[in-house]
C-alpha cells in the first residue's frame, strides 16, 4: 500500500502532514502562509488561508501536469498563389479552433494563470490518425468543414494543419492562489469553509474533483472544471440555498452536507455522474432542538456531526439512495470537529486539549468504529528548529534559549495559576499513557504531572491566550501576530459558551500570562509537548484495516522494531546482538559438527511418508472428483540427495489401484482456484504433452497450501533448486496472475539441442501480477491488475508457501484489485420500448460478455475463493464504443458491434456492470509508489555486461499513458530512485527497450514510435520518431530484440520489423519537439547474436478468455505454436527463440512483415 | 522433570570436550527424581503439555486450542522424525502474534542454574515494557535472576547460555522467544559459571 498523508492545521495556522508510514508530523513545505481550513484529496489539498483567499496545494510528482493547446491554420487554394491564407469571406478564420468558429491566433493563446508555464514553442502536428503526414502536417479537403485526408487530390480546395503547444503546471508542492478576479461574478465576500470530494463520482476527466465552498455570507459556491489536468478549476458558480450556510462537507462519492447557521443541516440530493452539482436540497433537523449542528463531515456512506454542545453524532442509514439517513446516534467523546477521510475513516480534534484522535475499528461492516485513539506522533520540527512561521514571534525567539535553560524553575511559576484553576480542563496527559478516554479528562490527568510535564503548560496557556484578544476579526494587541487566520469557529465558540473549561481559562489567566506568552510559544520546540490542532482533513489518507500505524506510540530514538523494511539486510543495518548470534551459531556449528563429519550417520537412509486424503480428477470418463488417499514418500539417498514419489491410491470398480509421480519429473505445480474448489495441478513433460495434468483438490485452503508447499519443496529439493532465483532466471505470469520462475539450464539455448520448453521446471513465487519483466542482473519488476508497480525484493516463497519454502525476510503483503464484468441485455419491442424480456433465442438478459453464460448480479461470484468483493456493482462507462448517459450501448442485434447512441435500427442494447474484487496475498514484492503503470520494459543484459556501473535502463508507460524512464535502477537498488517524464503528444500504450538502448513504443492510437539517442549517458533520449505502422493496422504492443522488432496489432496479428536501430533520419519523421538534437546513426545491435524471446509479448491479450480449469502448464505448447496460449506474459532474459524457426526470414530493413502467430 | 538434551549439555557439559560421552543406565530408574515415561505416548503427552503451557503464556492458549488434532500430531511427528519443515509448518503459527501488539502476552522461559537446588525459575514476564520498549534478555535477568548478572564494575562470573551460544544481553526477548525457543516452545536459559581457564 502506498503511503498517503493526513493533513492538519494547528492553532497557529501552520499546516502539517502525517504520513501513514511515518511517525512525525511534517511541516508543509510551503510555509509562507497560515491557514484556517484545509481539505485534502489524494493528489492535492485545498485550503483557505489567513487572507481569506483560496489556495490549492498540488503534490509533486514525477509526472508533470501538462495540457495541450491547439490551434488550426486554415488555407484555401486559389489559382494565383496556390494555397494561401486568403480565405473567402464566408470561410472560417485563418487561425481557428478545431470547429473553425473561434478565432485563435497563436500569439493570442495565453496561459490561464501564473501557475502555468509553456513547455515549448508552437509546432506543427505531423501525426494524422496514427500516420505521419510527411507534408508539413497539412490535411486536405474539398471545403470547410469536411473530412480531411492526408493526401492532396485534384479537388482539394482547402487545407489545414494543427499547431500544438504544451503548457505545464509549475506550482507544485506549494500553495497556489486561486485567482478570483476573472470570475464573471465578482465574489461578494471571503470564504469561510471549503470541502473537496467527489472523486468517486466519475473518472471522466481524470482526477475530477468537486470543490465546494461556503462564504461568510452563507452562500454556497461550486468550483467548475477541477480535475487532474486542470487543478485550479475554471470559475466559481453560485448555488442556491434555502438558508445561510455555515460549513460544508463533500464526500468522495455523492454525499454533500451543509450546516446552517440555524443549526440544521442541508443535504444535497441528485448528485450523480451526469450532474455532479446535484439538483435539490433537503433539510435534516439536529439531534436535539436546543443544540444545533455546528459541524458536519461526510464520507461515502457515513455522516458524522458535532452539535453546539460538542457532542459527536453519527447518522444512521446514510447511503446513495437516502443521503439524509434515518436517525442520529450519540457517540462517546467531545470534539470541536471531525473529519471523514478515505474508506470512511474518521479523525477528530477534541475540544479539551486540542489533541487529534483517530477512530479505531471503522470497517465497512462497522462504520461507526470502536474507540477514539489519540495520535501522539511528534512533529518533525520538534527535533529540528525549523518552524519558519515562528519568525512572526520574534520576541519569543530572542528569549527562547534562556527559557529553555531555566525552564524548570520558571515554568511552574507561571503555570501555577492556570493549572490550579483549571486542572481538569486543558491538562494533557502524557501521550504514551492511556488516551482512549477523551471524555474523561479527570482520569487521564490523574496520571500525575511530573517536572517534565510542567514545561507543557506554557503552551497550554499560550494558545488560549493568543486567542483571547481576537474574538472579533480585528487586529489584536501588539504582542500577538498581526494577521491571525483562525478567526471564526475556534474563537467564536468559546465566546458563546463561556462556561466551558477551555473558554474559561483565557479569561482568568490570559492577561497575566501574556508577558511570558512568547516564551511559552517557543518552548514547545524543546519539550515533548503535543501540538494543538485546529483542523484535520483525511481526504487523502488511506488507512486500511490490516495496516499498522505508528501514530499511537511515542518513538524514542532507537526503533525497537526487529523487522527491517529495507530490501536487503546489509551488515550496517543489522543490530549488534543479531550479528553476534549469527556469528556464535556459526562457530558452534563448526565446533560441534564440522569436526565430526567423518562420523557415520546413525541412520543411513531415511524414508519419510506424509499421507492424507484428497480428491482427484479421475482419468476415466465421466470425469469427476473422486476421493483418494495420497502418500508422499521421501527418501534420502547415500549422497544425501532427497527424492520423492507421490502415490495416489484410488478404487475403481472395487479394485484398488494407484498411480505414482516421481517428483523429480514434475515441471510445474499450479494452483487452480475456482469458485468452489481448492485444487492444484501437477505437470510432467509427459502429462504436458497429453494435456492431462494430475489434478488434486483439498478440503480446505490450508490443506491445499500445506500440500502445495510440501510438494513444491520436494520438487525443488530433488532438482537442487534452493533459495532465491538467480539473476538469469526466467519469470512468467499465468493468466490467473500467479508468478512462476524457471532457472535456465546451460543447454537451454544450445543451438544443436535446445531444451524443449515442456521440460523446463517452473516453481511458484508468491504474489499476484499481470505483467512481469526481468533482466539478467536480477532486476525484476511487475505490474498488478490494478496497475500498481512492484519490484522484486530478492526473497522467495510467500503466498501459500510458508515455513521452509519461503525466505524469512523480504516477504511483504501484496494486494491486487480487478473488476468482474457482467452485461445487462435488453431488447426493444414496439409496446414498452426496451425491456428485459428478450426473444426466446436471445442471450440471457444478464450475461457475461459473450452472452453464453448467465451472470446475474446476485449469482456472480469473485473469480476464486482468494478474491473478495470490495465494491458494489456499478455501471462501467468506459467500454469501447462509448455509451449513452445511462451506460447503454446499442446494436441492431446480438451479437454485434455496439455503439454509444441510439439509432432507428437498434433493437437491442446492453450495458456493462463492473464490480471490484480484491486479493490479499504475500510475496517478495514491494510497491513502487505512487505512479500506476500500464507497461514496463527493462533493458535485457547479458551477464558479461554487468558490473559496468551503469544503471539499468527501465522504461514504463503509466496507466494514464505517460512515458516514463526510471533513474537509478541497479542490482542493489532495483526500485530505482525517481521517474523521468518523457513528453509525448498523445497517451502511449506499450513500450519496449532492446539490449542496445533501442526504445520503441506504441501509442494508444496505434502509431509506432522510436526514441532517438537513448544511451547510458542520456537515459531519456532526445526525440521521438514516428514509424509508419503496417498499412491499415493499428498496433497495440511492441517488443524489441536485437535484430528485430515485433509488434502486435489489434486483431492479435504479429508484425515484425527487421534491424531496429536508428531509423533513417527523415525530416518529416520527427513528430514532436521534445528534443532538438540531430539524430545520429547508431548502428546498434546488428551482427550480434540475437537474443530475446521476441514473440513472448505477443501472447498477451488472449489470456482472459481461458476457462477456469486451464492451467499454465498447457501453455508450454503455446510458446511452440500450438494450442491455446495461457501465459499472460513472459519476462526474463528470454533465451533466444526456443523453436521459432520463422525468425530466419530476412525482409529488407524498415518494413513491417506479417508474422505468423498463434491466436 | 525431563530436560531437553541440548539444555542438559549446556548445563552440565558445555565445557567438556566433544564428543560428549554419556552413560546410559538400564536399571534403577531414579523414580523419585524423574517422572517415568512408560511409553512413547507418555513422552508425547509430556511434550504436548509443554507446548500447551507455553501457548497459554503466549496467547492464552488461543492458538493451540484452535488447532486440530492432526496439527498436534504433525508437531509431534515432525519432532520425532527430525522433519523440521513438517514441525515448523505448525509451530510457525505458535510463533505469531497479533499485528497490533508488539509481542506475546508473556514469554515462556525457564532459567536453570547449576548452583542452586531450585530446579528452575519461571515467572510471568512480558516482552514489552509499559512504555512500549521491548524488553531485552538483560531486563529479564535483572528482574527474575539478578544474581546471574555481573555487578556493574565486577567481573563476569556467569555465562548466560541458550543453545550453546551466549546472546548479548541487549537482545530483545521477543526475538529470542521466536527464534531460539526449544521445540517445546520454551526459552530454556542456562546460567553456568564462567569457565576459569
pLDDT digits (tens, 9 = 90+) for A113-138: 888 999 888 888 887 776 777 677 88
Buried b (16+ CB within 10 A) or exposed e, A915-944: bbbbbebbbbbbbbebbbbbbbbbbbbeee
Average pLDDT over residues B179-197: 86
Cβ of B85 within 8 Å of Cβ of A580? The answer is no
User: Which of B98, B161, B172, B177 would you mutate first to test chain A, the one with the most A CBs within 10 A?
Assistant: B172
- Specify whether the CB–CB gap between B77 and B86 falls below 8 A: yes
Which residues have a Cβ under 8 Å from the Cβ of A1138 and sit 6 or more positions away?
Answer: A748, A754, A755, A757, A1093, A1119, A1120
Q: Looking at the complex, does the CB of residue B195 fall below 8 Å from at least one CB of chain A?
A: no
User: Which of A582, A584, A611 would you mutate first to test chain B, the one with the most B CBs within 10 A?
Assistant: A584
Question: Which residues of chain B make contact with A805, given a CB cutoff of 8 A?
Answer: 85
Tell me the torsion sign for CA atoms B56, B60, B65, B71: negative
Q: Which residue of B has its CA nearest to A550?
A: B100
Question: Which residues of chain B make contact with A803, given a CB cutoff of 8 A?
Answer: 85, 88-89, 92
A416 band by pLDDT with thresholds 50, 70 and 90: very low
Cβ of B85 within 8 Å of Cβ of A803? The answer is yes
Secondary structure class of B80 (helix, strand, coil): helix
- Specify whether the CB–CB gap between A393 and A481 falls below 8 A: yes
pLDDT at A1017 exceeding the cut of 80:
yes
Cβ of A584 within 8 Å of Cβ of B166? The answer is yes
* Whole-number pLDDT of residue A339: 93
Question: Which residues of chain A make contact with B173, given a CB cutoff of 8 A?
Answer: none
User: Which of A435, A560, A596 would you mutate first to test chain B, the one with the most B CBs within 10 A?
Assistant: A560
Secondary structure class of A955 (helix, strand, coil): strand
- Specify whether the CB–CB gap between A487 and A34 falls below 8 A: no
A382 band by pLDDT with thresholds 50, 70 and 90: low
- Beta-strand relationship, A95-96 and A139-141: unpaired
Average pLDDT over residues B34-49: 86
Q: What cell does A950 get?
A: 551503469
pLDDT at A1119 exceeding the cut of 80:
no
Greater pLDDT, A220 or A947: A220
Cβ of B89 within 8 Å of Cβ of A577? The answer is no
* Whole-number pLDDT of residue B90: 86
Q: State percent of chain A over pLDDT 70.
A: 72
pLDDT at B161 exceeding the cut of 70:
yes
Which residues have a Cβ under 8 Å from the Cβ of A31 and sit 6 or more positions away?
Answer: A14, A15, A387, A388, A389
Taking every pair of Cα atoms in chain B, the longest distance, rounded to a whole number of angstroms, is 55
How buried is A368 (Cβ within 10 angstroms: 0-12 exposed, 13-18 middle, 19+ buried)?
Answer: middle
CB pairs under 8 A between A and B: 72
Gap from A1157 CA to chain B (nearest CA, Å): 45
Q: Which residue of A has its CA nearest to B70?
A: A612
Q: Looking at the complex, does the CB of residue A804 fall below 8 Å from at least one CB of chain B?
A: yes
Partner residue opposite A581 with nearest CB, options B81, B86, B171: B171
Q: Looking at the complex, does the CB of residue B18 fall below 8 Å from at least one CB of chain A?
A: yes
Cβ of A596 within 8 Å of Cβ of B18? The answer is yes
Greater pLDDT, A559 or A629: A629
Q: Which residue of A has its CA nearest to B134?
A: A560
Whole-angstrom distance, CA of residue A465 vs CA of residue A458: 10
* Whole-number pLDDT of residue A140: 85
Gap from B183 CA to chain A (nearest CA, Å): 15
Q: What cell does A477 get?
A: 494587541
Of the listed ranges A22-26, A222-226, A416-420, A561-565, the least confidently predicted one is A561-565
Whole-angstrom distance, CA of residue B106 vs CA of residue B56: 9
Whole-angstrom distance, CA of residue A695 vs CA of residue A617: 5
Question: Which residues of chain A make contact with B133, given a CB cutoff of 8 A?
Answer: 556, 560
Question: Which residues of chain B make contact with A1, given a CB cutoff of 8 A?
Answer: none
Q: What is the ipTM of this complex?
A: 0.87
Whole-angstrom distance, CA of residue A370 vs CA of residue A345: 11
The whole model's pTM is what?
0.67
* Whole-number pLDDT of residue A148: 81
* Whole-number pLDDT of residue A552: 75
Q: Looking at the complex, does the CB of residue B85 fall below 8 Å from at least one CB of chain A?
A: yes
Sort residue A1053 into left (φ over 0), alpha (ψ -120 to 50) or beta: beta
Whole-angstrom distance, CA of residue A1137 vs CA of residue A1145: 13
Question: Which residues of chain B make contact with A580, given a CB cutoff of 8 A?
Answer: 167-168
Gap from B11 CA to chain A (nearest CA, Å): 16
- Specify whether the CB–CB gap between A136 and A161 falls below 8 A: yes
Q: What cell does A460 get?
A: 497550554
Task: Compute the C-alpha angle A876/A877/A878, nearest 5°.
Answer: 95
* Whole-number pLDDT of residue A404: 38
φ, ψ at B83 (rounded to 5°): -110, 95
Q: Which residue of B has its CA nearest to A802?
A: B89
Question: Which residues of chain A make contact with B14, given a CB cutoff of 8 A?
Answer: none
Whole-angstrom distance, CA of residue A715 vs CA of residue A709: 10
pLDDT digits (tens, 9 = 90+) for B67-86: 888 888 888 988 887 778 77
Whole-angstrom distance, CA of residue A75 vs CA of residue A144: 10
Q: Which residue of A has its CA nearest to B89?
A: A803
Whole-angstrom distance, CA of residue A796 vs CA of residue A262: 62
Greater pLDDT, A788 or A100: A788
pLDDT at A958 exceeding the cut of 60:
yes
Question: Which residues of chain A make contact with B99, given a CB cutoff of 8 A?
Answer: 546, 548
Cβ of B85 within 8 Å of Cβ of A713? The answer is yes
Q: Looking at the complex, does the CB of residue B165 fall below 8 Å from at least one CB of chain A?
A: yes
Q: What cell does A1089 get?
A: 547474436
Cβ of B89 within 8 Å of Cβ of A553? The answer is no
**Closest listed residue to residue A476, CA positions, set A781, A50, A103:** A50
* Whole-number pLDDT of residue A343: 86
Gap from A539 CA to chain B (nearest CA, Å): 24
Secondary structure class of B67 (helix, strand, coil): coil
Q: What cell does A191 get?
A: 470564504
Q: Looking at the complex, does the CB of residue A556 fall below 8 Å from at least one CB of chain B?
A: yes
Q: Looking at the complex, does the CB of residue A580 fall below 8 Å from at least one CB of chain B?
A: yes
CB A744: neighbour CB atoms within 10 A?
18
Q: Looking at the complex, does the CB of residue B175 fall below 8 Å from at least one CB of chain A?
A: yes
Secondary structure class of A1049 (helix, strand, coil): strand
Cβ of B88 within 8 Å of Cβ of A803? The answer is yes
Task: Compute the C-alpha angle A939/A1007/A1025, nearest 5°.
Answer: 65
Of the listed ranges A126-135, A473-482, A723-732, the least confidently predicted one is A473-482
Q: Looking at the complex, does the CB of residue B100 fall below 8 Å from at least one CB of chain A?
A: yes
Q: Looking at the complex, does the CB of residue B183 fall below 8 Å from at least one CB of chain A?
A: no
Secondary structure class of A1136 (helix, strand, coil): coil
Terminal-residue alpha carbon distance, chain A: 36
Q: Looking at the complex, does the CB of residue A803 fall below 8 Å from at least one CB of chain B?
A: yes
pLDDT at A763 exceeding the cut of 60:
yes
Range of A342-346, A436-440, A1012-1016 with top mean pLDDT: A342-346
Q: Looking at the complex, does the CB of residue B96 fall below 8 Å from at least one CB of chain A?
A: no
Cβ of A595 within 8 Å of Cβ of B131? The answer is no
Cβ of B89 within 8 Å of Cβ of A709? The answer is yes
Q: Looking at the complex, does the CB of residue A582 fall below 8 Å from at least one CB of chain B?
A: no
A147 band by pLDDT with thresholds 50, 70 and 90: confident
- Specify whether the CB–CB gap between A886 and A911 falls below 8 A: yes
Q: Looking at the complex, does the CB of residue B168 fall below 8 Å from at least one CB of chain A?
A: yes
Greater pLDDT, A74 or A91: A74
Partner residue opposite B167 with nearest CB, options A581, A587, A805: A581
How buried is A471 (Cβ within 10 angstroms: 0-12 exposed, 13-18 middle, 19+ buried)?
Answer: middle
Whole-angstrom distance, CA of residue B47 vs CA of residue B59: 18
Amino acid at each position: 500500500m502506498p503511503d498517503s498523508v493526513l493533513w492538519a492545521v494547528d492553532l497557529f495556522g501552520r499546516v502539517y502532514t502525517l504520513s501513514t508510514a511515518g511517525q512525525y508530523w511534517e511541516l508543509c513545505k510551503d510555509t509562507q502562509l497560515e491557514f484556517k481550513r484545509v481539505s485534502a484529496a489524494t493528489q492535492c489539498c485545498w485550503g483557505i488561508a489567513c487572507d481569506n483567499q483560496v489556495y490549492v496545494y498540488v503534490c509533486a510528482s514525477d509526472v508533470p501536469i501538462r495540457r495541450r493547446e491547439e490551434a488550426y491554420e486554415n488555407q484555401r487554394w486559389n489559382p494565383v498563389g496556390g494555397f494561401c491564407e486568403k480565405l473567402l469571406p464566408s470561410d472560417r478564420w485563418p487561425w481557428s479552433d478545431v470547429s473553425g468558429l473561434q478565432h485563435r491566433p497563436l500569439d493570442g493563446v495565453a496561459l490561464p494563470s501564473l501557475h502555468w508555464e509553456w513547455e515549448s514553442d508552437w509546432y506543427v502536428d505531423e501525426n494524422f490518425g496514427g500516420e505521419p503526414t510527411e507534408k508539413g502536417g497539412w490535411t486536405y479537403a474539398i471545403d470547410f468543414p469536411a473530412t480531411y485526408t492526408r493526401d492532396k487530390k485534384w479537388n482539394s480546395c482547402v487545407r489545414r494543419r494543427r499547431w500544438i503547444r504544451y503548457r505545464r503546471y509549475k506550482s507544485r508542492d506549494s500553495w497556489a492562489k486561486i485567482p478570483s478576479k476573472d470570475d464573471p461574478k465578482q465574489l461578494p465576500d471571503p470564504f469561510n469553509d471549503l470541502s473537496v470530494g467527489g472523486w468517486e463520482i466519475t473518472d471522466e476527466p481524470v482526477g475530477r474533483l468537486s470543490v465546494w465552498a461556503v462564504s461568510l455570507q452563507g452562500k454556497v459556491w461550486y468550483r467548475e472544471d477541477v480535475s487532474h489536468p486542470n487543478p485550479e478549476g475554471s470559475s466559481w458558480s453560485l448555488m442556491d440555498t434555502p438558508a445561510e450556510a455555515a460549513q460544508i462537507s463533500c464526500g468522495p462519492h455523492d454525499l454533500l452536507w451543509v450546516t446552517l447557521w440555524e443549526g440544521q443541516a442541508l443535504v444535497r440530493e441528485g448528485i450523480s455522474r451526469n450532474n455532479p452539482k446535484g439538483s435539490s436540497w433537503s433539510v435534516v433537523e439536529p439531534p436535539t432542538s436546543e443544540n444545533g449542528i455546528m459541524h458536519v463531515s461526510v464520507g461515502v456512506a457515513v455522516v458524522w456531526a458535532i452539535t453546539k454542545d460538542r457532542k459527536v453524532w453519527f447518522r444512521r442509514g446514510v447511503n446513495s439512495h437516502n443521503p439524509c439517513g434515518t436517525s442520529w446516534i450519540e457517540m462517546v467523546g467531545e470534539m470541536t470537529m471531525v473529519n471523514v477521510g478515505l474508506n470512511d475513516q474518521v479523525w477528530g480534534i477534541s475540544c479539551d486539549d486540542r489533541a487529534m484522535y483517530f477512530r479505531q475499528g471503522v470497517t465497512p461492516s462497522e462504520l461507526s468504529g470502536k474507540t477514539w485513539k489519540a495520535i501522539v506522533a511528534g512533529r518533525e520540527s520538534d527535533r529540528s528548529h525549523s518552524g519558519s512561521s515562528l519568525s512572526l514571534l520574534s520576541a519569543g525567539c530572542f528569549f527562547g534559549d534562556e527559557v529553555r535553560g531555566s525552564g524548570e524553575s520558571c515554568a511552574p511559576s507561571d503555570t501555577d495559576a492556570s493549572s490550579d484553576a483549571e486542572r481538569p480542563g486543558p491538562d494533557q496527559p502524557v501521550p504514551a499513557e492511556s488516551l482512549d478516554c477523551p471524555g474523561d479528562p479527570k482520569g487521564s490527568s490523574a496520571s500525575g504531572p511530573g517536572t517534565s510535564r510542567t514545561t507543557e503548560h506554557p503552551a497550554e496557556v499560550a494558545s488560549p491566550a493568543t486567542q483571547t484578544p481576537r474574538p472579533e476579526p480585528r487586529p489584536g494587541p501588539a504582542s500577538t501576530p498581526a494577521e491571525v487566520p483562525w478567526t471564526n469557529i475556534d474563537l467564536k465558540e468559546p465566546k458563546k459558551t463561556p462556561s466551558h473549561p477551555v473558554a474559561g481559562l483565557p479569561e482568568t489567566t490570559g492577561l497575566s500570562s501574556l508577558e511570558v506568552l512568547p516564551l511559552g510559544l517557543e518552548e514547545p520546540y524543546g519539550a515533548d509537548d503535543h501540538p494543538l490542532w485546529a483542523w484535520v482533513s483525511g481526504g487523502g489518507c488511506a488507512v486500511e484495516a490490516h495496516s499498522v500505524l505508528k501514530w499511537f506510540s511515542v518513538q524514542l530514538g532507537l526503533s525497537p522494531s526487529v523487522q527491517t523494511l529495507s530490501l536487503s539486510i546489509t551488515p550496517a543495518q543489522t543490530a549488534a546482538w543479531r550479528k553476534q548470534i549469527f556469528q556464535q551459531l556459526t562457530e558452534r556449528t563448526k565446533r560441534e559438527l564440522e569436526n565430526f563429519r567423518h562420523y557415520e550417520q546413525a541412520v543411513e537412509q531415511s524414508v519419510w511418508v506424509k499421507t492424507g486424503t484428497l480428491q482427484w480428477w479421475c482419468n476415466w470418463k465421466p470425469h469427476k472428483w473422486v476421493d483418494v488417499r495420497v502418500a508422499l514418500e521421501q527418501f534420502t539417498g547415500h549422497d544425501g540427495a532427497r527424492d520423492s514419489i507421490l502415490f495416489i491410491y484410488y478404487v475403481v470398480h472395487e479394485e484398488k489401484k494407484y498411480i505414482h509421480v516421481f517428483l523429480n519429473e514434475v515441471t510445474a505445480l499450479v494452483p487452480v482456484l475456482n469458485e468452489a474448489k481448492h485444487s492444484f495441478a501437477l505437470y510432467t513433460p509427459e502429462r504436458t504433452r497429453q494435456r492431462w495434468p494430475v489434478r488434486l483438490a483439498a478440503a480446505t485452503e490450508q490443506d491445499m497450501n500445506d500440500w502445495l508447499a510440501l510438494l513444491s519443496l520436494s520438487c525443488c529439493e530433488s532438482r537442487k533448486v534452493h533459495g532465491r532465483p538467480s539473476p538469469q532466471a526466467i519469470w512468467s505470469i499465468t493468466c490467473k496472475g500467479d508468478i512462476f520462475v524457471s532457472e535456465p539450464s546451460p543447454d537451454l539455448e544450445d543451438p544443436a539441442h535446445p531444451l524443449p520448453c515442456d521440460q523446463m521446471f517452473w516453481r511458484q513465487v508468491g504474489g499476484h501480477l499481470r505483467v512481469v519483466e526481468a533482466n539478467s542482473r536480477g532486476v525484476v519488476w511487475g505490474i498488478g491488475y490494478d496497475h500498481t508497480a512492484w519490484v522484486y525484493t530478492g526473497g522467495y516463497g510467500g503466498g501459500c508457501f510458508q515455513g521452509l519454502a519461503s525466505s524469512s525476510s523480504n516477504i511483504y503483503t501484496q494486494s491486487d484489485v480487478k473488476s468482474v464484468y457482467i452485461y445487462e441485455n435488453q431488447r426493444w419491442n414496439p409496446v414498452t420500448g426496451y425491456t428485459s424480456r428478450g426473444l426466446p433465442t436471445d442471450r440471457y438478459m444478464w450475461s457475461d460478455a459473450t452472452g453464453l453464460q448467465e451472470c446475474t448480479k446476485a449469482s456472480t461470484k469473485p473469480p476464486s475463493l482468494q478474491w473478495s468483493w470490495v465494491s458494489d456493482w456499478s455501471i462501467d462507462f468506459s467500454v469501447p464504443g462509448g455509451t449513452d448517459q445511462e451506460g447503454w450501448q446499442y446494436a441492431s442485434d446480438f451479437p454485434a458491434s455496439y455503439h454509444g447512441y441510439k439509432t432507428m435500427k437498434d433493437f437491442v442494447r446492453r450495458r456493462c456492470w463492473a464490480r471490484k474484487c480484491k486479493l490479499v496475498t504475500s510475496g517478495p514484492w514491494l510497491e513502487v509508489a505512487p505512479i500506476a503503470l500500464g507497461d514496463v520494459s527493462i533493458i535485457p543484459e547479458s551477464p558479461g555486461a554487468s558490473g559496468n556501473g551503469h544503471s539499468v535502463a527501465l522504461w514504463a508507460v503509466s496507466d494514464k499513458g505517460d512515458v516514463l524512464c526510471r533513474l537509478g535502477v541497479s542490482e542493489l537498488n532495483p526500485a530505482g530512485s525517481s521517474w523521468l517524464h518523457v513528453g509525448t503528444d498523445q497517451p502511449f500504450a506499450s513500450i519496449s527497450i532492446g539490449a542496445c538502448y533501442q526504445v520503441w513504443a506504441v501509442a494508444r492510437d496505434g502509431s509506432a514510435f522510436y526514441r532517438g539517442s537513448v544511451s547510458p549517458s542520456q537515459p531519456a533520449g532526445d526525440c521521438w520518431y514516428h514509424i509508419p505502422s503496417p498499412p491499415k493496422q493499428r498496433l497495440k504492443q511492441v517488443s524489441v530484440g536485437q535484430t528485430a522488432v515485433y509488434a502486435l496489432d489489434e486483431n492479435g496479428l504479429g508484425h515484425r520489423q527487421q534491424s531496429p536501430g536508428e531509423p533513417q533520419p527523415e525530416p518529416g519523421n520527427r513528430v514532436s519537439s521534445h528534443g532538438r538534437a540531430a539524430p545520429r546513426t547508431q548502428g546498434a545491435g546488428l551482427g550480434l547474436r540475437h537474443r530475446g524471446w521476441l514473440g513472448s509479448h505477443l501472447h498477451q491479450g488472449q489470456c482472459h478468455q481461458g476457462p477456469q480449469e486451464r492451467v499454465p502448464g498447457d501453455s508450454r505448447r503455446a510458446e511452440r505454436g500450438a494450442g491455446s496460449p495461457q501465459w499472460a506474459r513472459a519476462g526474463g532474459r528470454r533465451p533466444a527463440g526456443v523453436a521459432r524457426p520463422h525468425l530466419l526470414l530476412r525482409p529488407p530493413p524498415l518494413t513491417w512483415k506479417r508474422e505468423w502467430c498463434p491466436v | 522433570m525431563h530436560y531437553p538434551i541440548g539444555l542438559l549439555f549446556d548445563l552440565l557439559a558445555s565445557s567438556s570436550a566433544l564428543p560428549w560421552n554419556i552413560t546410559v543406565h538400564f536399571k534403577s530408574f531414579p523414580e523419585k527424581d524423574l517422572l517415568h515415561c512408560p511409553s512413547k505416548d507418555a513422552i508425547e503427552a509430556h511434550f504436548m503439555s509443554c507446548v500447551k503451557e507455553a501457548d497459554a503464556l503466549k496467547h492464552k492458549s488461543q492458538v493451540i486450542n484452535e488447532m486440530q488434532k492432526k496439527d498436534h500430531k504433525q508437531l509431534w511427528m515432525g519432532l520425532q522424525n527430525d522433519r523440521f519443515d513438517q514441525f515448523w509448518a505448525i509451530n510457525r503459527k505458535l510463533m505469531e502474534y497479533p499485528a497490533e501488539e508488539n509481542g506475546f502476552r508473556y514469554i515462556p522461559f525457564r532459567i536453570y542454574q547449576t548452583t542452586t537446588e531450585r530446579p528452575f525459575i519461571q515467572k510471568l514476564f512480558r516482552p514489552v515494557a509499559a512504555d512500549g520498549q521491548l524488553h531485552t534478555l538483560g531486563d529479564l535477568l535483572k528482574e527474575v535472576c539478578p544474581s546471574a548478572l555481573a555487578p556493574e564494575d565486577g567481573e563476569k562470573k556467569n555465562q548466560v547460555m541458550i543453545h550453546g551460544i551466549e546472546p548479548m544481553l541487549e537482545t530483545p526477548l521477543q526475538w529470542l522467544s521466536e527464534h531460539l525457543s526449544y521445540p517445546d516452545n520454551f526459552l530454556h536459559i542456562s546460567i553456568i559459571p564462567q569457565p576459569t581457564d
